[in-house]
Every structure is written in structure tokens, then in C-alpha cells.
Amino acid sequence: MDRATITVAAGRPAARPEAPLNEPVEFASALTAGGRVEYTRHDARNSRAFEQVLGALEGGDAVLFSSGMAAITAVLEVLRPASVTRPTVLYSGTRAVLDQRQLPQGPDLIWVESPSNPDLRVTDIAAVSTGSGMTVVDNTFATPLGQRPLQLGADVVVHSVSKYLSGHSDLILGAVVCADPELAEQFRTYRELGGAIPGPMEAWLALRGVRTLDVRLRRAVASAEVLAPQLAQRDDVQVIWPGLPDHPDHALALAQMDLITPILGLIPTGGEPRAQRICESTRLWRHATSLGGVESTLERRRRHPAESEQVDPALIRLSVGIEALDDLWDDLQAALDAP
């Protein structure tokens, strides 16, 4: 089945007379004894329904966690690597966790974020997955509609479900997806004993959100495809987007990705002060952290002290939403033209 169909069709109750089309939210801790599950820290219906969709989209076995960071920490706890190879620029939370653990550089675990946050570099996943170590790919920026790392040879995919997968900036969840079902079982055990389980309401909302992933993402990508080259025509900004021919990973992005992420980087002339003014003067684009929602947001990443010093202090990360393109363009244009 096409991935667009999977987002809609997977994770539904069996079709029986009077069965609901959607898994209802199940607020329950204990279930009547005698079945496979008796206590919902072990496994819960709403989490399982979302996992069926994400697992089918990625081509693996998905385990839902209470946040993207919980999923990332679970990977380090379950795999217990003695060494890690990682990019210098990656999501600041992941970098902080890897720094904390003081893991030496080495081949045990290859950590990939592609496209990376916030510098939008693309990694050749098939090429880095050939070593003896485990390859883990943070697929948050691409989503499984943009790229399927397990099919390219990666062992584990992690997601911040808080972003595109849920898509409405109204919840925090994360997920691990494994090529090997036995490894996925280890993550389930870790989740059960670690106790950082997703709540039923969040899982239900995430499933409701992922139903429209294909239309949301395609609409946002279509707008990014217009906004990026139009912005690049201005001589007062540099545009960073893997879909543009001058991006260092353009050819790789086209070869590896089915859809390029609708996240753009913008480095305006005038440095940090002008970048900050631009973020504060848009009206439609909301000045906010996070990304991947239906609403367009923008943020100067270095305003966070935890962001890598290798990121340009003037870099603005734009998350293109699904509003009408003309309105997005007019608002950005006005902010860039402001004195």
C-alpha cells in the first residue's frame, strides 16, 4: 500500500458491525485479568494503534515514548554503546545527552540526523549503515513520507512525534522504530520498567494528527518549493534548503528523499540583530520554537544557549505550515523589508 493510504488505513479497530472506525480514547490503568494485557504501563490500546501506523510507514516495529528525548535516551540505555560517531551539529537536546554520557568517538553507534537540525545537512544513510555498529537515524525532519532509513540499511529510527507526525503543536511524544522485532521488544520492556509511557490522550491525538500527514506535508513542501527560490532572489538573505541547487547535499537529497523537508534556513545580512528583528516583526509566521505544525513558525536558533556555536548566530529556522502561500510570502517579505 502507498504510504498515504497507510496513514489513513492502519491502526483501526477490526471491521465488525458496530465497531467504531477509530480506537476510542481508553482511560484505564487496570484491565480485567485473563487477557494479554492487564495493566496499561505494559501496553496500551491508543499507543498500539499509533505504533501500527508508524511501524507500517517506516517498515519496522514502532514503540511510542512520552517524548522524543525519552525515545533518544531509551536508545542509549537499550543499546549501551561504548562509543558513538555523531555529527557536530544536531538537535541540541540529543547533543546534550550524548555530551553528558561522555562517550568516546567510535564505531559502536552511528548517530545520524538527516536532514539535521538546524543546519539541514543530508547524510547518505545507505553509505553510513554499512559498518559493524548500529546505525540510528533521527528522521524527525524528513518523516517516513520523506525518507525511510530502515529500507536504506539503518537499524533504528527515532522520531519526535511532537513535530510533523502529530502536526498540530499540541502534544509531546516520541518513538523508536526497529528493523528487528526482538530489539523492539527490548524497547517495550525498557519502557515498561522505566515507566515513561505515553498517555492515552496524547497517543489518540497523535494518531488523529498522523491521518493527515500526507496532505499536510505535501502542501507545506509545495509552499517551501516556491518560498525558497523566491527568497533566494533577494540579495539580503542566504537561503539554506536541500531542495535548492546550491545546497551542498542537493544531489543526495534528490536521490534519497521522496519529499524534501519544508524547513528552511535563512541567514539575513545584518547579523544577529536584524535576524532577531525579523523574527519579532512577522505577523502570520509565529515566533516560536519547535516545528512541523500546521502553522508556520520561525526562530533564531542561537537565542538558545544550548544551540551549537557552529550555527550562525543569524540563522533563522523557518517551519513552513499549510496557510495560503501568498499570505506567507507577503508576511515574510514585509518583515524582510522593514527597516
Q: Measured between alpha carbons, how far is 241 from 265 in angstroms, rounded to an integer?
A: 6
Q: Which of 46, 73, 85, 140 binds ligand PLP (CB under 6 A)?
A: 140
Site for ligand PLP contains 93 (CB under 6 A): yes
Q: How many CB atoms lie within 10 A of CB 109?
A: 23
Q: Measured between alpha carbons, how far is 66 from 190 in angstroms, rounded to an integer?
A: 13
- Cβ distance 183 to 157 under 8 Å? no
Question: Could you give the string, one character per residue 232-271, with x where binding to ligand PLP holds by CB under 6 A and - elsewhere?
Answer: ----------------------------------------
Which range in 14-22, 28-36, 66-74, 125-133 contacts ligand PLP by CB under 6 A? 66-74
Q: What pairing do the DSSP bridges indicate for beta strands 237-240 and 297-300?
A: unpaired
Q: Who's near 245: CB < 8 A, 6+ residues apart?
A: none
Which residue has the closest beta carbon to ligand PLP? 68
Is the CB of 207 or the CB of 335 nearer to ligand PLP?
A: 207
* CA-wise closest residue to 247 among 127, 126, 121: 121
* CA-wise closest residue to 200 among 48, 84, 36, 55: 48
Q: Which of 6, 62, 134, 172 binds ligand PLP (CB under 6 A)?
A: 172
Copy the grid coordinates of residue 143. Answer: 518523516
Q: Smallest distance from the beta carbon of 205 to ligand PLP, in angstroms?
A: 14
Q: Which of 23, 61, 138, 307 binds ligand PLP (CB under 6 A)?
A: 138
Q: Which of 55, 60, 68, 243 binds ligand PLP (CB under 6 A)?
A: 68
Site for ligand PLP contains 162 (CB under 6 A): yes
Question: Could you give the string, one character per residue 289-318, with x where binding to ligand PLP holds by CB under 6 A and - elsewhere?
Answer: ------------------------------
Q: Who's near 54: CB < 8 A, 6+ residues apart?
A: 62, 64, 144, 159, 161, 165, 175, 177, 210
Is the CB of 146 or the CB of 174 nearer to ligand PLP?
A: 174
What DSSP element (H or E) covers 113? strand 109-113
Site for ligand PLP contains 174 (CB under 6 A): yes
Positions in the binding site for ligand PLP (CB under 6 A):
67-69, 91, 93-94, 113, 117, 138, 140-141, 160, 162-163, 172, 174
